[in-house]
Amino acid sequence: MTRYVSRRLLELVIVFFGVTFVIYCAVFLLPGDPIAALGGDRPLPESVQKQLRSRYGLDLPIWQQYLDYLGGLARGDFGTTFTGQSVGEQMASRWPTTIKLALTAWSLTVLISVALGLAAGLRHGSALDRSVLLGTIVAESVPIFVLGIMAQYIVGITLGWAPIAGVDDGWPRAYLLPALIIAVYGLAGVSRLMRGSLVDTMRSDFVRTLRAKGMSQGDVVGLHVMRNAAAPVVNLLAIQLGSLLGGTVVIEAIFNINGVGQLLYKAIQDQEGTLVVGVATTLVFIFLVTNLLVDILSSVLDPRIRHD
């Protein structure tokens, strides 16, 4: 197990450097000149532009810029934006909001979709099974902004149960509604996978053995079938958590939540390379760590993975 984890950690480090380098190149080698753009319609004098370029290291070759950036990262310094603000501070004010939102949304996905998948899987072919399938597909087919705005209107304005903008009300009041809207989009995939995995596992021979041993349906499903069926679902859920953390832009915009999604969106618009790279780097890091945790969790769930 220790060997497995250390091998995965090594892989994680390699992937981290590879991906951040690609992102760095993609941001800074793309056409468009952030320094020239700083001046707006009236271009800055050549000498000022030159000075700014050398201050931000933009005149250095790309690999050297990247190494300088890594050096900063090692000291916990994400760099500064072209307007002189610290990237680290900017993110520090945004990440907690996004993490709260993403984790709330993700927990709702887990709860609802596992429950739906379980219900549909244990009664597959029934009316309940078919309505779960149909319901989740319908919910997923409505564009997220339509659903978001409808929810704001009905739950927020007509019923007055939840605020429709900002996070001033704090967790959970301000987060539940947007999180629920996000969760709806994970439901179809996860609950269907859960259902399929459950149905497949219920057909395995060992379920028959367990019943022949005199185990009750509860023992069989609750312990054996669930653990066997969990592996693929856990994997999908992890990928979802990763993409939730970076991909709540639309919902953040609709509910006027100052999260990382908004920050990233604005940074790209303003050609704030350092900020884009900073957000991307933290995202990559979170993604890799969740994946590692999931792989370790799957290997705990299924011993066959440990020995490959």
Partner 1 sequence: MSAPLLALDDLTVDFRGRRGDGVRAVDGVSFEVFEGEIVAVVGESGSGKTVTAMSVLGLLPDNAEVAGRIRLGGEDLLTADEKTLQNVRGRRIAMIFQDPFGALDPVFTIGFQVREVLRKHFPELSARDRRRRAIDLLAAVELREPEKRSRSYPHQLSGGQAQRVVIAMALACGPEILIADEPTTALDVTVQREILDLLMRVREREGTAVLLITHDMGVVADVADRVVVMRDGRVEETQTVERLFAHPSAAYTQRLLRSVPRLDAADRASLADDRPALVLDDLTVEYRQRFQSVTAVAGASLTVARGEVVALVGESGSGKTTIGKAITGLAPVTSGTIVVDGMDAVNARRRRAADLRKKIGVVFQNPMGALDPRWTMAESIGEPLRVHRGVRGKALKARTDELLDAVGLARSWSTRYAHELSGGQRQRVAIARALALDPVLLIADEPTSALDVSVQSTVLDLFRSLQRELHFACLFISHDLAVVDSLADRIVVMSNSRVVEEGARRQILLDPREDYTRRLLEAAPVPDPDVQRRRRREREKV
Q: How far is the CB of 233 from partner 1 (least distance, A)?
A: 14
Q: Is 208 in the site for partner 1 (CB under 8 A)?
A: yes
Number of residues in contact with partner 1 under rule CB under 8 A: 21
Alpha helices in 123-225 (DSSP H): 127-141, 144-151, 173-202, 205-212, 217-219
Whether the CA torsion 78, 80, 81, 87 is positive or negative: it is: positive
φ/ψ (deg, to 5) at 86: -75, 130
Kindly state the tokens that stand for 103: 């984790």
Q: How far is the CB of 130 from partner 1 (least distance, A)?
A: 15
Nearer to partner 1, 210 or 294 (CB): 210
The DSSP secondary-structure symbol of 214 reads: T
Q: Is 224 in the site for partner 1 (CB under 8 A)?
A: yes
Residues numbered 226 to 285 that lie near partner 1 (CB under 8 A) are 227-228
The DSSP secondary-structure symbol of 80 reads: B
Of 15-23, 86-94, 205-213, 253-261: span binding partner 1 (CB under 8 A): 205-213
- The answer to whether the bond into 172 is cis (omega within 30° of 0) is yes
Of 31-39, 48-56, 146-154, 215-223: span binding partner 1 (CB under 8 A): 215-223
Q: How far is the CB of 152 from partner 1 (least distance, A)?
A: 44
Dihedral class, residue 14 (left if φ above 0, else alpha if ψ from -120 to 50, else beta): alpha
Q: How far is the CB of 226 from partner 1 (least distance, A)?
A: 10
Residues numbered 285 to 304 that lie near partner 1 (CB under 8 A) are 301-304
